């Protein structure tokens, strides 16, 4: 084997190793997880035959420091409301159950009587959320999910 081929092979192996090491360093540098609300779903069940109805909202919340809580606000699209993060600070909180050191499954359930349902605007409703991590970070989502109110 000639020296030229041997030197080219060694340079190629060193370059390939550098690229691989750089990729591993980049992958390991991203160890922090940002606060996020994912897999959100909402379901409205109207009351019927004397039974209460409900609004159930569920979402997975995660952050590298852990999850402190999730505030939830449901509002009709026809209202023209546009809630802010500040307004959501006083909203009702979901019940959050840890699924790991960094994630929780949060559920908000609201029972709705026939009288209350009669006052609800029909049509599309939005759910806004404000997630709070244990380290104090917050993540506001003005339209995390939506559902439809029908009679």
How confident is the model over 4-56, as pLDDT tens digits?
443 343 434 334 344 444 444 434 333 457 999 999 999 999 999 989 999 99
Q: Is the dihedral of CA 89, 90, 94, 99 positive or negative?
A: positive
Q: Determine the Cα angle at 150 with ends 108 and 117, to 5°.
A: 60
- The average pLDDT across 130-145 equals 97
Judge contact between 85 and 138, C-beta under 8 A: yes
| Predicted structure pTM score | 0.77
The residues pairing with 107 across neighbouring beta strands, listed in sequence order, are: 58, 95
What is 74-121 written as a DSSP string? EEEGGG-----HHHHTTSEEPEEEESSSSEEEEEEEEEE-HHHHHHSP
Q: Which positions ≥6 away from 50 have C-beta within 8 Å?
A: 114
> Tokens representing 134?
């244990």
- pLDDT(139) > 60: yes
What is the total residue count of the chain?
151
Q: Strand 95-98 and strand 103-112: pairing? A: antiparallel
């Amino acid at each position: 084997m000639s020296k030229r081929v041997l030197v080219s092979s060694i340079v190629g192996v060193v370059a390939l190793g550098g690229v691989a090491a750089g990729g591993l360093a980049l992958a390991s540098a991203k160890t922090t997880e940002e606060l996020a609300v994912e897999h959100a779903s909402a379901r409205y069940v109207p009351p019927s035959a004397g039974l209460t109805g409900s609004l159930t909202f569920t979402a997975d919340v995660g952050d590298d420091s852990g999850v402190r809580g999730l505030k939830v606000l449901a509002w009709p699209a026809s209202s023209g409301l546009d809630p802010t993060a500040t307004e959501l600070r006083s909203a009702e909180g979901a019940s959050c159950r840890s699924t790991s050191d960094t994630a929780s499954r949060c559920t908000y359930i609201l029972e709705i009587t026939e009288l209350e349902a009669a006052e609800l605007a029909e049509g599309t409703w939005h759910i806004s959320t404000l997630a709070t991590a244990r380290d104090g970070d917050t993540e506001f989502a003005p339209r995390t999910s939506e559902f439809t109110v029908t009679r």
